[in-house]
Amino acid sequence: MKKLLCAAAAALAIPAMAQAHFLLEYTTDTMIEKPGDVPVKLIFWHPFENGHVMDMAMPEEFFMVHKGEKTDLKGTLEPVRFSSPQNEGAAFKGSVPVKRSGDYVLVTVPTPYYEGSEDIYIQQITKAFLNRNELPTDWMNPVGLPTEIIPLNKPYNIIAGSTFTGQVLANGEPVAGAEIEIEYMAAVPDMDNASASAPTVSPMPGGAVVAISDANGYFSFGVPKAGYWGFAALGSGPATEHEGKELSQDAVIWIRAWDLE
């Protein structure tokens, strides 16, 4: 816990952290009506302000979990370029075979990214969720990652204006005192070209939106707006070094909120 609190304090002291970078596993929809291959884009980016794009290397792993069964999807990935108003970076496109009813948990274990401005490596182990035919099967279960966030609310149909609660785990154990950065996908990637829409809202004043996990690894957030929301538990993973430099092994989860109609 002491290590995580010190890491959180150090992160808050770095101005560059005011603009949170998040690994995206973006699909246009989270609830899938027809069976087929669902396009997905993997982008390491600042989606709140349509900011800087970081170059992604081929992930170490990209897979899905459906009804407890793991399916490797790395073979579907193809390199693409993705641009923001600031720059262009390396990203990937792939596909998810959604056929049977139930949940599809998408998982990316990226190759650690070297952040030169901080002289550290970042590895954001990321989960996102799809569902077909409204049958819940897997969303509440740990995947068994080095670090991950377990949702306590069904993550693909959160009601805007309600709360979302998650639990941060490392090697299956709760992580107390983890700093969780919270990001709204204000700029949405276009699945047909190499850029994104203009941001629909502006980032909050005061830097990144942050929560801290409690003694049992839990945190909650009041979701104010429909759309995609990301949560990144910074440095929550057990690995702390890569190629002789500090490694921030983060757990990331994406949820989808909806307005009541």
Tell me the DSSP string of 165-210: EEEEEETTEE-TT-EEEEEE--SPBPTTSSSBPPPSSPPPTTSSEE
- 240: domain CATH number is 2.60.40.1930
Instruction: Answer whether 124's CB lies under 8 Å from 47's CB.
Output: no
Output the pLDDT for position 243.
96
Burial class (CB in 10 A: 0-12, 13-18, 19+), 192: exposed
Phi, psi of 238 (to 5 degrees): -75, -25
d(CA 207, CA 225): 19
Residue closest to 127 by CA, chosen among 22, 236, 235, 248: 22
Instruction: Answer whether 125's CB lies under 8 Å from 118's CB.
Output: no
Query: Which residue in the block uniquely carries the two structure tokens 């979302």?
Result: 164
Count the domains in the chain: 1
Look up residue 189 and give its two tokens: 């990637």
Residue closest to 11 by CA, chosen among 245, 239, 235, 253: 235
Instruction: Answer whether 137's CB lies under 8 Å from 67's CB.
Output: yes
Domain that holds residue 229: 2-258
Look at strands 245-258 and 120-132 and give their pairing.
parallel
* Gyration radius (Cα) of the chain, Å: 17
Output the pLDDT for position 49.
86
Question: pLDDT per residue over 120-167, tens digit each?
Answer: 999 999 999 999 999 999 999 999 999 999 999 999 999 999 999 999
User: What is the pTM for the complete model shown?
Assistant: 0.91
d(CA 57, CA 44): 10
Please compute the mean of the pLDDT values over residues 114-120 and round it to a whole number. 93
Output the pLDDT for position 136.
97
d(CA 32, CA 40): 13
DSSP state of 257: E
Please compute the mean of the pLDDT values over residues 90-105 and round it to a whole number. 97
Question: pLDDT per residue over 242-255, tens digit each?
Answer: 999 999 999 999 99
Burial class (CB in 10 A: 0-12, 13-18, 19+), 115: middle
If pLDDT is split at 50, 70 and 90, which confidence band does 104 have? very high
Q: Is the pLDDT of residue 11 over 60?
A: no
